[in-house]
């Protein structure tokens, strides 16, 4: 394991099943939390720490619409295994929808979170960091 992985693995509660056996909505549940922490750390690394600004900036990344776009950016880079996880997440029936997103955006957002959760639970930390860093760099380049 890399140094980054050792530091990230401060949570010592493994899932009750192997990651590939978990319901995709369970993977999305943890993926949502992992991505939220990643984004919060990114936002705090910036200079403006006013609470309202922190929240507004984070929302640009963690909304269903934003996550759907991030997934679109990632798709060409994904392995077949990762694409299969995305497909499972996209097709999962959650029984709810996002308040401010189209159904397709919400499904793609769930797929993105499912992928993040899967990579986290398979302890593919270097790959997770690589993909998240890539989408952040892509978003920064798009803003220029």
pTM of the model: 0.88
**Mean pLDDT, the chain, whole residue set:** 89
32 in active site: yes
Q: Which domains, and CATH codes, for the chain? A: 20-142 (1.10.1520.10)
**Cα three-residue angle 18-93-110, rounded to 5 degrees:** 70
Q: Are 96 and 35 in contact (CB under 8 A)?
A: no
Tens-binned pLDDT, residue by residue, of the chain (144 aa): 344 345 555 677 889 999 999 999 999 999 999 999 999 999 999 998 898 999 999 999 999 999 999 999 999 999 999 999 999 999 998 777 777 778 899 999 999 999 999 999 999 999 999 999 999 998 777 664
**Structural element, H or E, at residue 16:** none
61: nearest Cα among 121, 135, 111: 135
Catalytic residue among 32, 84, 133, 141, which? 32
């Amino acid at each position: 394991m890399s140094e980054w992985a050792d530091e990230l693995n401060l949570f010592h509660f493994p899932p009750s099943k192997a990651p590939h056996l978990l319901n995709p909505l369970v993977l999305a549940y943890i993926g949502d939390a992992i991505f939220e922490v990643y984004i919060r750390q990114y936002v705090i690394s910036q200079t403006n720490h006013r609470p309202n600004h922190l929240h507004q900036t984070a929302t640009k990344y963690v909304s269903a619409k934003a996550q759907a776009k991030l997934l679109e950016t990632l798709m060409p880079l994904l392995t077949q295994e990762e694409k299969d996880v995305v497909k499972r997440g996209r097709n999962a029936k959650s029984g709810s929808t996002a308040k401010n997103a189209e159904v397709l955006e919400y499904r793609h957002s769930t797929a993105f979170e499912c992928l993040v959760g899967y990579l986290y639970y398979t302890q593919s930390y270097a790959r997770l960091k690589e993909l998240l860093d890539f989408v952040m760099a892509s978003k920064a380049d798009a803003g220029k």
